[in-house]
């Protein structure tokens, strides 16, 4: 019985190998490359410095851009370098000569230095754009401890009898 199973497995394996190397099994030709787009993106700035912000403060900034190309600019994806950096990009094509805005929200509930990136992917002939945000988030001041209640004046005195 073991020999039968072993023989069947060997035949099945050899059959798969033979079919994989069949000379008539050609890989299809790669798809024709799409013509290069004539859209182009020009950012008004590549970096935003928040400076110093308080924990829980406003972490929103904007990057403005212009389509300097001859075709509509289509932003296909905007991605922050981590979950604390959330970009919001336009979904509609930006016509030649027109401008758009990319909003970035950083979670300022995380105290410490900021150095994050946002990658903007589009059909621009110049390729992907990497935007940078930086700054520092100061922690909230420690809450003052509640004052201890002093013993109220005129507290009852224990009588000895």
- Using a cut of 0.85, tell me whether the model's pTM lies above it: no
- Residue 119's DSSP bridge partners are 79, 130
| Largest Cα span, the chain | 115
What is the rounded CA–CA span in Å between residue 103 and residue 117?
13
Output the tens digit of pLDDT for each of the chain's 161 residues: 666 565 655 565 555 555 554 444 444 444 444 457 899 999 999 999 999 999 999 999 999 999 999 999 999 999 999 999 999 999 999 999 999 999 999 999 999 999 999 999 999 998 999 999 999 999 988 765 556 666 666 666 666 66
Contact assessment for residue 18 and residue 45, using Cβ atoms and an 8 Å cutoff: no
Domains recognised in the chain with CATH numbers: 41-136 (2.60.40.10)
Contact assessment for residue 53 and residue 63, using Cβ atoms and an 8 Å cutoff: no
DSSP state of 68: -
């Amino acid at each position: 019985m073991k020999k039968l199973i072993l023989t069947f497995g060997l035949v099945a394996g050899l059959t798969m190998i033979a079919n994989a190397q069949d000379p008539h099994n050609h890989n299809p030709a790669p798809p024709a490359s799409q013509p290069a787009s004539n859209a182009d993106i020009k950012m008004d700035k590549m970096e935003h410095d928040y400076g110093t912000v308080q924990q829980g403060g406003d972490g929103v900034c904007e990057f403005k851009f212009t389509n300097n190309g001859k075709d509509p600019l289509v932003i296909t994806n905007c991605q922050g370098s981590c979950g604390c950096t959330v970009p919001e990009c336009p979904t509609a094509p930006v016509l030649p000569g027109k401008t758009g805005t990319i909003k970035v929200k950083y979670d300022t509930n995380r105290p410490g230095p900021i150095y994050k990136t946002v990658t903007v992917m589009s059909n621009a002939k110049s390729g992907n754009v990497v935007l940078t945000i930086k700054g520092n988030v100061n922690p909230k001041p420690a809450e003052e401890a509640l004052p201890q209640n002093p013993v109220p004046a005129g507290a009852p005195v224990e009588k000895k009898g």
